[in-house]
Structure 1
């Protein structure tokens, strides 16, 4: 079956690496990639205002069943990658992290491994409702780009029972594209993420 996958990544640092991953993905039969926007379109939406960019990213996630976060050195810090993760959780997409720091850039260089972006986002319970949280580098805070409660019935994993933050990564798989032969295996990784989410 066709698997529509949204790829989330840090554009300015990792677009070359991300395109290499994308090319190995679309070479497989029945695979459809989403999330590879032309930079000019992204920047135009960003220049208008945050709400325009959020709407643009939500539109990009439509009709997808999996979000694959391509993690480079600083992907975990990026506001809009976090927003794509947040909207993927709300939407019920399967999620996975694929580390791409070992993929060579256009100049032949690799980069340092960064933190898992899915470990920097979490959910917690407050007064019986589920909310999103994000890691600032020193503490967990309420996620400011989406402040409404998430219906617990929409989660594909068991929600937290207390106000302690549950990292999204605790329910998702992470892989190293270079060391684990991603050019051969990424299709299986994405199918696993879809299966975990019941998608």
Structure 2
């Protein structure tokens, strides 16, 4: 069964062509089911929107998706709207994972070292009773509340070991893959759930 995937990325990676290699890899497959997804990205419409309009665009883009794939370039980890898309995806229950794209040749024909993992810079702060979380982001070596997304109640109580703690998304098991090293062309369908 084909899964709907929302792609989150820094727009510069579209300009450099790296993001499109992943987003469009299904074109060379016999059908989208072979690729393992249907692209639900919104980047074509996202430039020059106000905060409220952009949030609505993100919410609409994530509608009917079950997966969010964060395409990780050099600056993806620091982009505020990527952070928002990650937290909103978690809140709505999407399977969230990252794919490093810097080892894909850019329009300049060069590859780069993998960019920082955005899941290292985002966290959830669990309430003392484990019933709610507050999204957090790393700033100057400290966890601070992520201003664009407030605290919310969890669907089920968190494991007791997390109560009262701030835990990075990396420590919570959000996985990352490398498009080149992990054979994304053939493996992507196995990364979506």
Change in CA separation of 1:173 and 1:121 when aligned onto 2, cut-off 3 Å: same
1:178 aligns with 2:180: yes
Which residue in the other structure is 2:143 paired with? 140
Distance 1:10 1:85 in 2: 13
Q: Describe the SS at the equivalent of 2:162.
A: coil
Which residue in the other structure is 1:197 paired with? none
Runs of 4+ in 1 over 6 A off after TM superposition: none
Which residue in the other structure is 2:73 paired with? 72
Q: How does 1:11-160 map to 2 (within 5 A)?
A: 11-15=11-15, 16-25=17-26, 27=29, 28-30=31-33, 31-38=37-44, 41-45=45-49, 49-128=50-129, 129-147=132-150, 149-153=151-155, 158=159
Q: Describe the SS at the equivalent of 2:43.
A: coil
Listed as ranges, the gaps of 5+ residues in structure 2 are none
User: Superposition RMSD on alpha carbons, in Å?
Assistant: 2.0
TM-score using structure 1 length: 0.84
Change in CA separation of 1:159 and 1:19 when aligned onto 2, cut-off 3 Å: farther
Listed as ranges, the gaps of 5+ residues in structure 1 are 195-199
Q: Deviations over 1:111-145 (max 9, x none)?
A: 23211112211111235432111112411101110
Structure with more of its chain in helix, by fraction: 1
TM-score using structure 2 length: 0.86
Number of matched pairs: 184
Q: Describe the SS at the equivalent of 2:108.
A: coil
